[in-house]
């Protein structure tokens, strides 16, 4: 009888603890997503206006790629969706190098890039998730994932610029030529951070 009572008590305790554990896990994941959105906002503060184009050079893209590679497709998508909601509501999370605030950023010259951010993080995270956990080429796979995400980013950004300028050539001149070298650096930096992070976390288990 004592054994039965002990087992029943243990089962009751586990059933009571499960909702608490789920709540703690939800709170933890929410905090991670919020922190990731703020990290991208912090990267956006590093911005350099470029003469001849309305699109500034910022660290935002690095932040987006890093979030996608570190958090994965779903949490990366959630973090960047939250980031856009924060910016649209008027919080100062977008680049200060662009005039206007809130919705004005999303409808301005950089709107296509901003609106693509959730997809960019999703693509980077999704492709990187397909790697082998024991792969010796984490950096190369992270870089490949980031390049694919960059293609999605510039597809959105240049398409919106083409709509605004009514010219594909102007869109390419404003949104691509100035940024190719910098984007290569951002891809390599994000890939290095992700590879290092996943290598360290996988070695702990």
**pLDDT, tens digit, 9 for 90 and up, residues 43-75:** 999 999 998 898 999 999 999 999 999 999 999
Give the percent of the chain with pLDDT over 70: 84
More confident residue, 202 or 118: 118
Widest distance between CA atoms in the chain: 83
Q: Quick check: 13 pLDDT over 50?
A: no
Q: Return the pLDDT at 103.
A: 84
CATH class of 2-203: mainly alpha
* H or E segment and range at residue 64: helix 60-71
- Domain ranges in the chain? 2-203
* H or E segment and range at residue 48: strand 47-48
Residue showing tokens 């990187």: 128
**pLDDT, tens digit, 9 for 90 and up, residues 67-108:** 999 999 999 999 999 999 999 998 999 988 776 667 888 889
Q: Under a CB-based contact definition with an 8 Å cutoff, are residues 63 and 40 in contact?
A: yes
Q: Return the pLDDT at 126.
A: 96
CA 196, distance to chain mean position in Å, is 17
What burial class does residue 38 get, using C-beta atoms within 10 Å of its C-beta: 0-12 exposed, 13-18 middle, 19+ buried?
Answer: middle
Sign of torsion, CA 160 162 166 171?
positive
């Amino acid at each position: 009888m004592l054994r039965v009572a002990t087992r029943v008590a243990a089962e009751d305790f586990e059933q009571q603890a499960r909702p608490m554990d789920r709540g703690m896990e939800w709170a933890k994941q929410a905090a991670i997503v919020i922190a990731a959105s703020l990290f991208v906002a912090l990267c956006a503060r590093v911005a350099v206006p470029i003469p001849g184009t309305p699109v500034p050079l910022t660290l935002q893209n690095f932040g987006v790629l890093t979030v996608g590679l570190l958090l994965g497709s779903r949490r990366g998508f959630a973090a960047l969706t939250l980031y856009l909601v924060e910016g649209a509501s008027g919080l100062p999370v977008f680049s200060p190098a662009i005039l206007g605030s809130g919705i004005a950023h999303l409808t301005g010259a950089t709107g296509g890039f901003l609106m693509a951010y959730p997809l960019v993080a999703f693509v980077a995270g999704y492709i990187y998730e397909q790697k082998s956990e024991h792969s010796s080429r984490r950096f190369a796979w992270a870089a490949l994932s980031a390049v694919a995400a960059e293609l999605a980013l510039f597809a959105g950004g240049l398409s919106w610029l083409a709509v605004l300028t009514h010219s594909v050539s102007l869109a390419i001149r404003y949104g691509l030529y100035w940024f190719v070298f910098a984007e290569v650096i951002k891809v390599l930096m994000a890939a290095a951070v992700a590879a290092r992070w996943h290598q360290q976390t996988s070695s702990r288990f």
